Amino acid sequence: MKTIYPHTAEKYDDTASNASDAHRSLIESEVTRATQPAIMKLSIIMPVYNEVATIAEIIKRVMAVDLNKELIIVDDGSVDGTREILRNFSPVAKIIFHDGNRGKGAAIRTGLERATGDIVLIQDADLEYDPNDYHALVQPIVDGKTPVVYGSRILRRENPRSNVKFYIAGRFLSLVTNLLYGIHITDEPTCYKVFRRDLLKSLDLQCEGFEFCPEVTAKIAARRILIHEVPIRYMPRSVAEGKKINWKDGLQALWTLLKYRLRR
């Protein structure tokens, strides 16, 4: 298993230079121990609703990634057999069942309550996003460059484009976000959003549905925190294949961006 090491300050090589020989070895050992990198843990939160066709495969792909991690799956009231499949994975994941369908945002908030990692990553339960991108997604946080990373589908030119309506809507929301908040991101509605857990918990999220994305982006931008983007793989699916977001969710996202901007 690959360990995740945080950025550490440089060693103070001159700490013991003025110390007596009797104390030098003790001081050096203490400095070495203090600057040893601690292993960071990744919490993957996976909201699920009616994904019987993909749930087993995405769990296997996530668990195959060689990182110090925990997987937290929140089933949001599935009625298609997903829940029965999930029970088979209880030895390898924390599995939580909502009594009814409350929405993606509510499922993420439930998962966040159970997360114990230093870093939190959001993973959809379909196969559009590739867990092999985890290493690139967490590294800027581990290196201390930023507490927030978004995986951008736009930055990887090889990716096939989704349905033209979804593509245009995503680009439009990114443009509106940049104009309202004075930031520069290419893919606001991406699923792959990664945060330091302490930061994410401090945002006091209120979302219930797909407005998780614009709410978290608005609150991060309002704090003037850098959102670092890295290119990610993407394999879009159609509505017929199970894609659930629709034009109403787009309007809700737009309103959420405007609402939090007006509150500043």
CATH number, position 144: 3.90.550.10
Residue 91 structural domain: 37-262
Number of domains in the chain: 1
> What percentage of the chain has pLDDT greater than the value 90?
72
Q: Is residue 32 scored above 70 in pLDDT?
A: no
Kindly indicate the confidence band of residue 12, based on its pLDDT and cuts at 50, 70 and 90.
very low
Question: Is 78 among the domain residues?
Answer: yes
Nearest to 163 by CA among 88, 248, 243, 89: 243
Determine what percent of the chain is predicted with pLDDT higher than 70: 82
Tens-digit pLDDT profile for residues 202-232:
999 999 999 999 999 999 999 999 999 999 9
Is residue 131 in some structural domain?
yes
- Within a domain: 12: no
The pTM score is 0.84
In a domain, 6, yes or no: no
Put the strands of the sheet holding 94-97 in their side by side order: 94-97, 69-75, 42-48, 119-122, 193-196, 148-152, 227-231
Q: Which of 15-24, 45-54, 206-215, 240-249 has the lowest mean pLDDT?
A: 15-24
| Phi, psi of 216, deg, nearest 5 | -70, -35
